[in-house]
Amino acid sequence: MKVGVVVFPGSNCDRDALHAARLAGADAELLWHETPDLHGSDAVVLPGGFAYGDYLRAGVLARFSPIMAAVRDHARRGGLVLGICNGFQVLAEAGLLPGALLRNASLRFEHRWVRVSVERPDTPFTRGMPAGTELRMPVAHGEGCYYLPDAPLAELEAARQVVFRYAPPEGNPNGSVHDIAGIVDVTGRVCGLMPHPERASERLLGSDDGLLLLRSLVESAAATAVGAAR
Amino acid sequence: MASFRYAVSVMPKEGILDPQGRAVELSLPHLHVAGVHAVRVGRRVELTVDASDEASARDTVEGLAGELFANPLIESWTVELVAAASSTAGAGAAAGVAPGAR
């Protein structure tokens, strides 16, 4: 079971994600964004950071990196893709996930511990987490305000694509509609979230709740083993 | 071949929260400015396109605006031609004008 962690110019959580994927039991490898393929990865992580300096709009320039064609292809074949923070912004800009991440409503860069409730236990990212499970993870972003116009937002909710929602007492840190912290695409195989599971993957860091998510990803990818079948 | 210079103005769509505009507006009292409101902050991208005519140059810019400069979900844009120059100046222009001018 191999997890590929994409490195864009400006990614800065790539090594943390690599370390956490290994803690979760995977072989893991960094993939430079100019690599045209995923080196047989069974799951791909787009890590946090500031790809291309967030110039123009967070995530938009990374969308045109050569590796994104392989990521798109991987997703089309049912491979697992996880976008964390900036990775979520890249997936949204690339159209692999619906919606957009706007500037935080608070006008501030929000970096603090939050709590998310698991809305769906039946995704490859939430194995072994009953609905209502709360995960404590940090956020650190300037553009994390999830937005979708009313009609598609209703569709997103009806299709049960909201996987994580900000929960009290810390609540919604950025003004996201419906307190949305993380979603999946219609296939359920591509997930994006603003909180950082890799920064909550060891007790020493203040929480290891994020490791549950990464373990779920690793176990789900092992079960389907898209890479191994190639 | 000619060169066309465009300015693309990208603005947050009506109804989309614009914290930058809000921040600017909140600073106005510090400048002792009254009667100014509805501040919105966007971005302007200028670029030069080489093309055979203005229509095809504009197509390129419109394509880039919707794909790259703006996110159509949250932003709208306008394209403005700010300058044009023909690389074969006199001859090109004359040849272009002649048939239509009878």
Instruction: Give residue B86's pLDDT.
Output: 85
Does residue A230 fall inside a structural domain?
no
Residue B94 has pLDDT above 60, yes or no: no
For A33-43, what is each residue's pLDDT tens digit?
999 999 999 99
- Residue B98: exposed, middle, or buried by beta-carbon count in 10 A (0-12, 13-18, 19+)? exposed
The model carries a pTM of: 0.90
**Structure confidence at residue A229 as a pLDDT band (50, 70, 90):** very low
- A12-49 tens-digit pLDDT: 999 999 999 999 999 999 999 999 999 999 999 999 99
Asked if the C-beta of A107 comes within 8 angstroms of chain B's C-beta atoms, the answer is yes
Closest-approach residue (CA) in chain B for A109: B19
Q: How far apart are CA A120 and CA A126, in angstroms?
A: 7
Chain-wide mean pLDDT for chain A? Answer: 95
CA distance A223 to chain B (A): 36
Whether B43 is covered by a domain: the verdict is yes
Interval A142-154 mean pLDDT = 97
Query: Which of A93, A102, A107 is opposite residue B16, by nearest beta carbon?
Result: A102
Count structural domains, chain B.
1
Number of domains in chain A: 1
Range of the domain at B61: 2-89
At B88, is the pLDDT very low, low, confident or very high (cuts 50, 70, 90)? low
Q: Check pLDDT > 50 for residue A143.
A: yes
Which helix (H) or strand (E) element contains residue B21?
helix B19-27
Residue B61 inside a domain? The answer is: yes
The domain that holds B34 is classified in CATH as 3.30.1280.10
pLDDT for B101: 36
**First-residue to last-residue Cα distance in chain A:** 13
In a 3-state reduction of DSSP, which class is residue A162?
Answer: strand
Is position B45 within any domain?
yes
For the cut 70, the answer to whether the pLDDT of residue A225 exceeds it is no
Rounded to an integer, the average pLDDT of B46-75 is 96
Chain-chain contact of A103 with B16 (C-beta, under 8 angstroms)? no
Of A230, A225, A184, nearest to A26 by C-alpha is A225
For residue range A150-200, what is the model confidence (pLDDT) as tens digits?
999 999 999 999 999 999 999 999 999 999 999 999 999 999 999 999 999
How many whole angstroms separate alpha carbon A30 and alpha carbon A24?
Answer: 16
The span from the CA of A60 to the CA of B75, in Å, is 13
Q: Quote the domain boundaries for residue A52.
A: 2-224
Which of B17, B22, B71 is facing A57, going by the closest CB pair?
Answer: B71
Give residue A135's pLDDT: 98
Residue A146 has pLDDT above 70, yes or no: yes
Q: Using a CB–CB cutoff of 8 Å, tell me whether B17 touches chain A.
A: yes
- ipTM > 0.85 (yes/no): no
> Per the CB < 8 Å rule, is A102 touching B73?
no
pLDDT range class, residue A224, cuts 50, 70, 90: confident
**Residue A229 belongs to some domain of the structure:** no
- Look at residue B100 and tell me if it is in a domain: no
Cβ contacts of A151 within 8 Å, gap of 6 or more: none
Q: Which of A60, A63, A89, A102 to mutate to test the interface with B (most CBs of B within 10 A)?
A: A102
Alpha-helical runs (H) found in A62-119: 67-76, 86-93
Instruction: Tell me if chain B has a CB within 8 Å of the CB of A19.
Output: no
Considering chain B, what percentage of its residues have pLDDT values greater than 90? 75
pLDDT of res. B91: 43
Q: Considering CB atoms only, which of A100, A105, A175 is closest to B74?
A: A100
Read off the pLDDT of each residue in B76-92 and give the average, rounded to a whole number: 79
To probe the interface with A, which of B26, B68, B75, B76 has the most A CB atoms within 10 Å?
B68
The CATH code of the domain that includes A191 is 3.40.50.880
